Amino acid sequence: MIPGELITDDGEHELNAGRTTITLTVSNTGDRPVQVGSHYHFHEVNAALAFDRTAARGFRLNIAASTAVRFEPGQERTVELVELAGDRIVYGFNGKVMGELDKPIGTPVSTAANVQEVNVKANVQA
């Protein structure tokens, strides 16, 4: 083996095989380009992107890891999204979920998350 050498299997590998996918049309209504990474929760992307956000809840772009899709100002394109896997718990991004994806929209987040939020607010005010 040579240092840095990649040894791969023969043939092709299908990404996200057997996972639920959806297709959405997305428009960049802003005046600046918007780039969305492969594992960003699509429901929470930049507000300048216009699409069915409710349908995108719990999905990300169906592209290879560490890649991205760029939306130029005024551009409209069709993208394929794939369901998020694992525990389906989402924190961060734009703070629109902050907990379990499979709870109905509007369900309060867990007590631990509420305590953390209160602590953050208390630290900001101090």
Domain annotation for the chain: domains and CATH numbers: 21-125 (2.10.150.10)
Give 48: exposed, middle or buried? Use CB within 10 Å, 0-12, 13-18, 19+.
middle
pTM of this structure:
0.73
Chain segment 22-71, per-residue pLDDT in tens: 999 999 999 999 999 999 999 999 999 999 999 999 899 999 999 999 99
